[in-house]
Structure 1
């Protein structure tokens, strides 16, 4: 029985160390701020989060950045919350680019996210596997604590490896 306890305890320690290494215990920084205008080049997606086409859209972003067809950071715009809409998502998956004059790769269009809006912004450093859940939870917790109503419009981007940012506009 002692042997089993030591094995389970050892396994738990390894998991905790790995989770810490991935940034699992790092708390996001959350602020209420004013958004800046962003240009996102990419492609729309509508369907299930399990849809293969969504994965292909993310893969295309990676290819466009690797081929240096665009300079920027991976970014996504979500127009609804899939947790509330039964696994159906409306999104625009692409790359934040510095300005609107860039020549876009075939199949890509440009969307402008207007600046000057009050947003709840969360930033965190962690593994990309953990970032979305951490960022969204931090924004929703902050909004609840501050009694803010949020729009169903989410802009997330990843300016560096293992760093993510999420902005959600406050309803006026």
Structure 2
């Protein structure tokens, strides 16, 4: 009986954690509601809003900016995704909308790689795209990732929700 091996690893991850959505929607609605109430009170009712009120124009501009920023952040969460493709040539990753094409790392520049458990908040300050001097991380959720140490000394961590599958795949292509 012949054993059939997979010749590539593929994963797409999105921000789907309930706590992120609850936090985003709650803060967004509270902020928009507060500025909306301020506009209503000051512009419609003619009562000053706050101890040091803005001008009506300033309040409308602030309200519009709040709506634009919160809409942008919501859009970012909806459409952001981390795509990872690994094969015998190397690692390809794309963190849309920050990357519009894949970034490739050939195996010839990788000194060491391993699937690791890590602490996203403690080690990287959270999830998303994180960049430090010689250390980068792309992670969307969880606490598992592909840790790459490149021959130039730089480190890259690419998060994964398929740690066991990725580890098995790496063992398979190293043979």
Q: Structure 1 length as normaliser, TM-score?
A: 0.26
Greater strand proportion: 1
Q: Structure 2 length as normaliser, TM-score?
A: 0.26
Greater helix proportion: 2
